Chain A
């Protein structure tokens, strides 16, 4: 790690200005991913612009029942927020399924979205990796890749995005709010992360110097649930996960949001599955059919075909649980 300058920003505008003014600048939030990677020599910065104490630390109810989450809200505070627990349980659960109590106390909304893949080659500067060093190759394709992608990967990169929170946000149809040198803009969270294609070095659609200011949730469309499978009972990244929001009326799927984690370079919003489900009976058979409609596109690597089965099982399980709950409530 090379020495760097440090600036604490006091307003989002100042953060963006500082970034523009300083070559090699990076935003620092909780630091739980950035400092980790800087120690490994994977990331570097000439200036760290500390955005962790910006006045973006509030969770506010918006018009029409929406919820606006500040970029600097700590993961633990967000998970414990009464509005989130009550109205968006999938988000609270996803956050609580990630990392550890002490990491969540530090990690922020924006940092969580921006965290980088846990691909073991990416984390080892002694080895090639297209994401870290474009053009150097992707040893994971033939190498150790049990934890890597089955959907949407490319010849250049088969990494997965590790966030749990982002999977819930994708299912909820959240929007990411950005402030850049050219002003504000917003992106649906499902489009925020990229697929690797030929440019795996780019994880997201964030433009250089853009600051995430908030994540906005639309009013909840129904009951929701998160489920994650992992190698040990806690403090481990997902092998695969599912976030689902399901609105069942009279036994029929009225609305649904479904997203997979651990399968792709981005949280995978399961559009094909959702299409199958809309108007379908809320039954395990329909859920399985929907999952298949999404997973038929899976292209597993040598050692990760289990993820397709796992994702299918998780989707059916989570949707069935939500449907059962709806049936129970209706009865």
Chain B
């Protein structure tokens, strides 16, 4: 364990009210001594803040090229079957409607890309809401009216949309999302479990969850001299460009995808979505620019979601709670279009000592929308199950839940036996306990009452892997002493623009305000997606490399620079693909205090506090926002977000923001994020780990564990809505004293 980390020095002592102007102690990355004025690690205001608070920032649907048309997509009205006829007459007779695209007249696409992009190509309906037509019109109003007037006949086939633990077609996938093996086994789980003094066996249920970024997916596309240009809301426009080139049979330099500003994505914009394909098809078909903004209600069917999971965790431990046997089985669903397996059993391969272990995924392909990435795929639901089970184990052995986790801490990744490049889980737990005011002597459930409220506190651990993908970047020095750095990164709200400029300035030994940073355009040096919390590491390494080389070249250069300046390009294919002897993960601990209203069954969070060890924090301002933002999403997952697969119709019932309850401001009285100053030389030149997703991991379990502490009830099913609480409170005799039965 690293001495600095062990001291648990946090990066800055501030919680919710932190202004963007302070933040101490973030100096000192892997390289050790850095200049006090190093822009890297300094609290730096968001570069695009002014554009965003004045409304000047332009998002994908906020371009209206001359002659632009508006499109509205139409989703399939059945859960499975075939289109037998498209009756266009009524739609085309709506004044202003110029075209109706469907499988019988849409431009042909080339096969090969993601099958969810294979839209309007054949008459198959794989799930309700699958795009089956696009109405294009001279105004948004006409497009809406035209879409309503379009009649489509279907031959319906029986559908199968319900996930059950006993579904006959469940199978074990080769790999789950992220390329993780579907199954891993070590030792002899059965024997070790049978021989254990203490056993815990829990089945945890997480419903379907939707990303719902505030900006719905949108594209404005046009063709110009054989070139396809699209303003598209996505998390990585190099990948989108490549997909479009493949689908439309174009060279990569015949496609330009621009994503200068992106209104959030949380994974749902991490892969190319049908929106941009439809807009491009319509623009080709009509010969005019076309703007398509997906109606909010279409998002759940078309832009991916977190598939529901049914997870069973079995733990076998000794009397002190040291785990000998661990089994995590994650059952989930995918669509018939494409296999996507939420890797929920993967964190159990990382977290705790577990000599005998089985981690397995099982999946069934149903007639449902295709699931995809949603913030911390795998870890978010998986750690809900595992960390709830750990809490159950703590109760079973009578240990404090923090102490129990410390007893199961490990220096090597159990699954691979590799040492961790750094692991400061224990420090996060201790530091969090101190800041939160954790009381190990107050763990008896259901004894803290304030009137009709039951009060409880809970804790859970968090983890998220370090990913690192190849990227390109260029750095150019101008004769006037300014620099331009170009990398096709995406700033989806993470602060990438700001942090990359800091990285560049640090390597260039200049101040960030002398660095112009260009991102969000596929014509810039190719770069990977903003996903897997890997953006800063991937893009930043390329930026760092280009800037470092440029600095060296400048040092060697005599005299004035030529008018075009001096440019250096870099790519990190080698660095990113080199295998590491280390297991690399960020860790953290989340603490929650909840109230459970015994009158209404409402669970509300009073305080949420997270402490993270995620390498070097490059910008405390934007990092804090990332942490608390993800924790907020975790709060939603715990308490209010959830969507029901409608067995009759085959769609998610809660498709709008009035019925799918993302947290509102009033749900969060107090939220704090802190971090451990973690030095890790085995990551990247900046010494950073990803920070965008770990905040959601562990939060739901911490809240669920707090509910147990408050009530003694273990619900094992999210979200913790009043209907579920009331039922169990009544069974437990915990209704208010004022309400005689």
Residues of A that sit less than 8 Å from B by CB: 1-3, 39, 41, 118, 120, 123, 125-127, 139, 142-144, 146, 229-237, 239, 284-285, 288, 303-306, 309-310, 312-314, 316-317, 320
Q: Does B141 contact A (CB under 8 A)?
A: yes
Are A146 and B723 in contact (CB-based, < 8 A)?
Answer: yes
| 17 sample A-B contacts, Cβ–Cβ < 8 Å, listed by A number | A3-B145, A41-B148, A118-B658, A120-B654, A146-B723, A229-B602, A230-B602, A231-B722, A233-B664, A233-B666, A236-B664, A239-B722, A288-B739, A310-B601, A310-B722, A313-B599, A313-B726
A231 to B736, CA, bound (A): 20
Name the A residues within 8 Å of B452 (CB-CB). 317
Are A234 and B644 in contact (CB-based, < 8 A)?
Answer: no
CB distance from A319 to the nearest CB of B (A): 10
Known contacts A232-B639, A234-B666, A306-B727, A313 near B600 by CB under 8 Å: yes
Known contacts A139-B648, A144-B646, A316 near B738 by CB under 8 Å: yes
A35 to B614, CA, bound (A): 47
CB distance from B600 to the nearest CB of A (A): 4
Known contacts A1-B144, A284-B740, A313-B600, A234 near B665 by CB under 8 Å: yes
Are B658 and A237 in contact (CB-based, < 8 A)?
Answer: yes
Q: Does B449 contact A (CB under 8 A)?
A: no
Partner of B722, one of A126, A139, A306, A320: A306
Are A317 and B599 in contact (CB-based, < 8 A)?
Answer: yes
Chain B, 707-741, contact with A by CB distance < 8 Å: what is the 0/1 string? Answer: 00000000000010111001100100001101110
Known contacts A120-B653, A144-B646, A317-B452, A236 near B661 by CB under 8 Å: yes
Nearest B residue (CB) for A308: B726
Nearest first, the 7 closest Cβ-Cβ pairs linking A and B are: A229-B600, A233-B666, A234-B666, A144-B653, A306-B723, A284-B738, A313-B599
Name the A residues within 8 Å of B722 (CB-CB). 229-231, 239, 306, 310
A316 to B144, CA, bound (A): 48
Are B145 and A139 in contact (CB-based, < 8 A)?
Answer: no
A230 to B640, CA, bound (A): 10
Partner of B739, one of A3, A230, A316: A316
Known contacts A1-B148, A306-B726, A232 near B646 by CB under 8 Å: no
A2 to B647, CA, bound (A): 32
CB distance from B72 to the nearest CB of A (A): 11
Are B740 and A285 in contact (CB-based, < 8 A)?
Answer: yes
16 more contacts with CB within 8 A, not counting A3-B141, A120-B654, A233-B666, are: A2-B145, A3-B145, A118-B658, A118-B659, A123-B656, A139-B648, A139-B649, A230-B602, A233-B664, A236-B661, A239-B723, A284-B740, A309-B730, A313-B598, A313-B599, A314-B599
Q: Does B77 contact A (CB under 8 A)?
A: yes
CB distance from B441 to the nearest CB of A (A): 31
A120 to B600, CA, bound (A): 23
Q: Does B445 contact A (CB under 8 A)?
A: no
Are A317 and B723 in contact (CB-based, < 8 A)?
Answer: no
Known contacts A231-B640, A234-B665, A284-B740, A143 near B648 by CB under 8 Å: yes
Partner of A1, one of B145, B598, B661: B145
Query: In the complex, how many residue pairs between chain A and chain B have their CB atoms under 8 Å apart?
Result: 108
Nearest B residue (CB) for A236: B661
Q: Does B470 contact A (CB under 8 A)?
A: no
Nearest B residue (CB) for A319: B738
CB distance from A300 to the nearest CB of B (A): 11
Name the B residues within 8 Å of A304 (CB-CB). 723
CB distance from B733 to the nearest CB of A (A): 13
Chain B, 584-604, contact with A by CB distance < 8 Å: what is the 0/1 string? Answer: 000000000000001111101
CB distance from B224 to the nearest CB of A (A): 33
A118 to B472, CA, bound (A): 50
Q: Does B663 contact A (CB under 8 A)?
A: yes
Are B723 and A284 in contact (CB-based, < 8 A)?
Answer: no
User: Among A41, A118, A233, A239, which residue has the most Cβ atoms of chain B within 10 A?
Assistant: A233
Are B664 and A232 in contact (CB-based, < 8 A)?
Answer: yes
Name the A residues within 8 Å of B721 (CB-CB). 231
Nearest A residue (CB) for B739: A316
User: Among B144, B722, B730, which residue has the most Cβ atoms of chain A within 10 A?
Assistant: B722
A285 to B646, CA, bound (A): 41
Known contacts A232-B640, A284-B740, A142 near B144 by CB under 8 Å: no
Q: Does B188 contact A (CB under 8 A)?
A: no
Name the A residues within 8 Å of B664 (CB-CB). 232-236
Name the A residues within 8 Å of B148 (CB-CB). 1, 41, 125
Known contacts A127-B649, A314-B599, A233 near B738 by CB under 8 Å: no
CB distance from B278 to the nearest CB of A (A): 19
Q: Does B253 contact A (CB under 8 A)?
A: no
Q: Which of B35-70 contact A (CB under 8 A)?
A: none
Nearest B residue (CB) for A321: B738
Q: Does B667 contact A (CB under 8 A)?
A: yes
Are B738 and A142 in contact (CB-based, < 8 A)?
Answer: no
Name the B residues within 8 Å of A234 (CB-CB). 664-667
CB distance from B252 to the nearest CB of A (A): 39
Name the A residues within 8 Å of B599 (CB-CB). 229, 313-314, 317
Are B723 and A314 in contact (CB-based, < 8 A)?
Answer: no
A118 to B723, CA, bound (A): 18
Name the A residues within 8 Å of B646 (CB-CB). 143-144
Name the A residues within 8 Å of B719 (CB-CB). 231
A317 to B600, CA, bound (A): 10
Name the A residues within 8 Å of B661 (CB-CB). 231-232, 236
Are A233 and B648 in contact (CB-based, < 8 A)?
Answer: no
A42 to B364, CA, bound (A): 35
Q: Which of B528-566 contact A (CB under 8 A)?
A: none
Are B648 and A1 in contact (CB-based, < 8 A)?
Answer: no
A231 to B639, CA, bound (A): 8
Name the A residues within 8 Å of B738 (CB-CB). 284, 316-317, 320
CB distance from A226 to the nearest CB of B (A): 13
Name the B residues within 8 Å of A127 (CB-CB). 649
Name the A residues within 8 Å of B736 (CB-CB). 313, 316-317
Name the A residues within 8 Å of B735 (CB-CB). 309, 313
Nearest A residue (CB) for B667: A233
A118 to B659, CA, bound (A): 9
Name the A residues within 8 Å of B644 (CB-CB). 144
Nearest A residue (CB) for B149: A2
Name the B residues within 8 Å of A233 (CB-CB). 604, 664, 666-667
A120 to B660, CA, bound (A): 11
A39 to B145, CA, bound (A): 9
A310 to B727, CA, bound (A): 10
A120 to B644, CA, bound (A): 11
CB distance from A149 to the nearest CB of B (A): 15
CB distance from B116 to the nearest CB of A (A): 21
